[in-house]
Structure 1
Amino acid sequence: MNKNFLALGLAAALLAPQVAGAEGFAINEWSAEGVAMGGARMFAEDDAANVAYNPASITKVKGEAMKSSSTYLSPHGSYKLHDGDGKEIEAGKNVVHAGWAVGSYYVKQINDKEWFGIGAFPRFAMVSEFERESKASTNAFFSKLNGVSVTPTYAHKFDKKWSAAVGAEINYVGLELQKNLVLPAAGVNGTTQIEGESYALGWNAAANYNFDDKNEIGVVYRSRIKHSLEADLKGYGTKSLGVGGGDVFGNAYGVVTLPDSWDIGYNHKFDKKTRLELKATRTNWSTYDALNVYFDKSLIGIPGKVDSSPSAKNWESGWRYAIGLEHNLSDKYAVMAGFAFDESSIPYEGGDFMVPTGLRRTYSIGARYNDKKQTVAVALGWMDVGTLDFAGHPEKGDAYSSAHAYDSFTKIASISYQRKF
């Protein structure tokens, strides 16, 4: 029965929409307990979701456990557009496009020294949408990245102080980009759509060290993953009137490198009931230097013209800091709280309406019930996304010279269920 449960959980994680809101690109919402503690959950006891947060900590799982989680994210935000003289030319809001981050995890203790775990959860995902008739639509009116990582993991406990883990990562992304293409000189006023998917491989490694019964540190490294994306290209009404007008259909190709990252965590147990976690994450967003897409034919039907979509990003590497508190009210009930701060990695010249996010502050709370066989946890969070100013590029077709995103926030709700065998 446990094998069927594992297969069903992994299938649900792979088939469900792995989507986050317009608040960002990186996903940290992998379980309700993790949401409640702001993502600072690297040293949890008997939690199968350790496969995602800290593979070296699956050695804390006794026996065999299966866990599933679902996190609901609802983004909101506003923007203003300005022309070259700084005059406001449009104000609007993003189309509320809520989504789910779904995770499934399985851990089995092989013997006193060895553990096996596997997880299916999103590490990168986003969705943003704006009115199709807005001036923002010349940059992007619909952008979606669905992502899921499957991570088979082996962990070894060397002694009472040291444990370590290594794992592979099978990463899937599905990308869809839509925007309006307006070229008055060519008589073009149409819509473009690029849609494709890709699989790629990565790896991860982790280690924990216990100073004593109350203090523990850990580190996790996740490799960068390079995707070569082949996609369908559709241009509706993009063929120049000079060559008869009409639609264009073809293929598109691009390369995107998802960044590598380091997690460093510290766990302190005040007593048997209360513990505190600190976590810092360094993500090398500098790998996202450009989003260049190449077409096998001209979007306007003229060879050598509009046969690519170059877009420099030049994101900067940045840090995420989190603190989480867990307190056991009794043997069965616990409460949790957390706070996280994300630096913005998007420079003024590299911003766009695909990911219009500034620095992020996330406040969260949660509660958990557990007995010998099962655990249920719930969490609520509020993410203040902040503001972001970025440049438009009229020479590439943008209908504005600068943009200001503001009043952006995301509502978060999460639930997890774990069963032990």
Structure 2
Amino acid sequence: MNKNFLALGLAAALLAPQVAGAEGFAINEWSAEGVAMGGARMFAEDDAANVAYNPASITKVKGEAMKSSYTYLSPHGSYKLYDSNNDEIKGEPGHNKVHAGWAVGSYYVKQINDKEWFGIGAFPRFAMVSEFERESKASYNAFFSKLNGVSVTPTYAHKFDKKWSAAVGAEINYVGLELQKNVNTTLLGGGNGTTQIEGESYALGWNAAANYAFDDKNEIGVVYRSRIKHSLEADLKGYGVGNKGADVFGNAYGVVTLPDSWDIGYNHKFDKKTRLELKATRTNWSTYDALNVYFDRPLVSNPNIPAIGAATSKSESAKNWSDGWRYAIGLEHNLSDKYTVMAGFAFDESSIPYYGGDFLVPTGLRRTYSIGARYNDKKQTVAVALGWMDVGNLDFAGNATDAYSSAHAYDSFTKIASISYQRKF
């Protein structure tokens, strides 16, 4: 093939905007086929998105392939707030502002020889966006929160024989964080205002994977992704939060550790047309023990009362999430040589405790139902998928600076639509 065309395509794949969002944190929507099968897609044939789902399975790609995927996620939800007497606070909007997001994936795989493969992907593993009315009492916890995440994963895979294949790769992880909330500093000598914290960070991680085929119909696989520690430096903007309503501008910093995880999968081929995948993911969310941000200057400075400056020089919030599991099942059936249908279901445990929830990620357990279809010929593949994520209720306590004592999130759901295109060379 034309080498200049390949170089241009690879650059476009890695430089494509990787914007992601949903009222969640872990992102599993890396391709339309993956969405259709509930994320249980660790053993796909000839799919460049294997770089994301299971690096050891890029050995199933014949020749060269490049793929792009775009997934639309639209979160909806309601909430109630309660005061210290456990009475509902009236007059609240009672719902989020629908702030849809995109999960974009770009992948390239090349077979070097009969034993070796190289792959690289750019896709989001962690991301979220949530927004609430600025006039609501929920806004004193958060009225706009966004985490954009991108993982770039250069990967080497080796096929030892007909049964064993393995892969190892690096992960270059980017996060861009923006947090906005209302602040009441009246009791500290200030007034009502708004703070905005916005920053970004790059950090390194790694991953490893292995597949074992018992026979032509049964295969298992395991994938490990390391935890990644970010030291985030950010800009602090405080509007109307200083003495006598003054604006405050400075810097903020904090440390965020993205959790490590294990994927364990099983693939069964009933015949040449139909196969079933099972997948379990263990994510060590306990690394998210706190969200603490420290400022290089206090929001309110009063030399006569030093405690005021100390109290407004930081934003500390304990999270203490617990480790959790995600279970998925996916079915793929070939109607013909060119047309395939898929369906899937996934169940996510909730890892958020009562004293650790907030309006950044106000979601409980999640059940996702999905369907999809694919067209393919010798050179290209087009797939589409639709999903419905039913989000369970979540109760959580307010912090000392919140305008409520407790909150109840309910009737939450996310609409999902995805499309992927792959080209073989």
The TM tier, using the shorter chain, reads: over 0.9
CA drift at 1:14: 5.6
Q: Which residue of 2 aligns with 1:22?
A: 22
Q: Name the SS for the 1:205 alignment partner.
A: strand
3-state SS in 1 of match to 2:94: strand
Q: Secondary structure at the match of 1:232?
A: strand
Instruction: Tell me if the contact between 2:20 and 2:104 (Cα under 8 Å) persists in the aligned partners.
Output: no
On the 8 A contact 1:81/1:91 being kept in 2, the answer is no
**Contact preservation (8 Å) 2:191, 2:243:** no
Q: Is the 8 A contact 1:235 1:299 kept in 2?
A: yes
RMSD between aligned alpha carbons?
Answer: 1.7
Shift of 1:386: 1.2
- Measured in 2, the distance between the counterparts of 1:350 and 1:250 equals 27
Q: Deviations over 1:58-105 (max 9, x none)?
A: 000000000000000011001100001111103511000011100010
CA contact (8 A) 1:243 1:302 kept: no
Structure 2: segments with no counterpart, 5+ residues: none
Residue 242 of structure 1: how far off its partner (Å): 8.6
**1:340-376 superposed Cα distances (whole Å, 9 cap, x missing partner):** 0000000000000000010000000000001110000
Q: Given the superposition, is the C-alpha separation of residues 9 and 385 from structure 1 closer, same or farther in structure 2, using an over 3 Å criterion?
A: farther
Shift, 1:15, TM fit: 5.5
Please, what TM-score do these two structures have when normalized by structure 1? 0.95
Post-superposition shift, 1:183? 3.4
Deviation at 1:250, TM superposition (A): 0.3
With over 3 angstroms needed to count, the CA separation of the structure-2 counterparts of 1:3 and 1:250, relative to structure 1, is farther
Structure 1 residues 274-300: Cα deviation after superposition (integer angstroms, max 9, x where no partner):
000000000000000001100000011
Does the CA-based 8 Å contact 2:190-2:243 persist in structure 1? no
Distance change in 2, residues 1:214/1:222 (3 Å):
same
Q: How has the CA–CA distance of structure 1 residues 3 and 38 changed in structure 2, closer, same or farther, with 3 Å as cutoff?
A: farther
* Counterpart position of 1:199: 202
**Partner SS, residue 35 of structure 2:** helix
Which structure's residues are more often strand, by fraction?
1
Whole-angstrom distance in 1 between the partners of 2:291 and 2:6: 37
Matches of 2:131 and 2:228 in 1, distance apart?
26
Question: Are 1:412 and 2:416 counterparts?
Answer: yes
Aligned equivalent of 2:54: 54
CA separation of 1:385/1:10 partners in 2, compared to 1, >3 Å: closer, same or farther? farther
Specify whether residues 157 and 363 from structure 1 end up closer, same or farther in structure 2 by C-alpha distance, changes over 3 A only: same
Matches within 5 A, 1:15-414: 18-89=18-89, 90-181=92-183, 182-237=185-240, 243-300=243-300, 304-393=310-399, 398-414=402-418
Q: Tell me by how many angstroms 1:23 deviates.
A: 2.8
Answer whether contact 2:368 2:390 (CA < 8 A) is retained. Answer: yes
> Relative to 1, partners in 2 of residues 1:47 and 1:22: Cα closer, same or farther, differing over 3 Å?
closer
In 2, the alpha carbon distance for the partners of 1:2 and 1:200 equals 34
Structure-2 change in CA distance of 1:379 and 1:59 (3 Å) = same
- C-alpha change, 1:347 and 1:108, in structure 2 (3 Å) is same
For the residue of structure 2 that corresponds to 1:91, the secondary structure is: coil
Which one is further off, 2-11 or 372-381? 2-11
Question: Residues 143 and 163 from structure 1, CA distance in 2 versus in 1: closer, same or farther, beyond 3 angstroms?
Answer: same
Residues 23, 385 of structure 1: 8 Å contact kept: no
Greater Cα shift, 408-417 or 8-17: 8-17
Cα distance change, pair 159–16 in 1 and its aligned pair in 2 (3 A): closer
Q: CA deviation at 1:220?
A: 0.1
Does the 8 Å CA contact 2:48/2:65 hold for their aligned counterparts?
yes
1:318-349: CA deviation from partner (whole Å, max 9, x where unpaired) = 00000000000001100000000000000000
* Cα deviation digits, residues 208-236 of structure 1 (max 9, x gap): 00000000000000000000000000000
User: What SS does the corresponding residue of 1:88 show, helix, strand or coil?
Assistant: coil
Secondary structure of 1:204's counterpart equals strand
1:98–1:10 Cα change, 3 Å: farther
TM-aligned CA distance change 1:39 to 1:302, over 3 Å? farther
Tell me the CA shift for residue 305 of structure 1. Answer: 3.5
Deviations 1:225-280 (A, max 9, x none): 0000000000000xxx9944310000000000000000000000000000000000
Q: How many residues align?
A: 414
Q: Note the residue ranges of structure 1 that are not aligned, 5 or more in a row.
A: none
Distance 2:249 2:60 in 1: 53
CA distance in 1, matches of 2:264, 2:355: 31
Q: CA deviation at 1:187?
A: 3.5
- Paired-residue identity, %: 91
CA distance in 1, matches of 2:229, 2:163: 35
Moved more, 21-30 or 38-47: 21-30
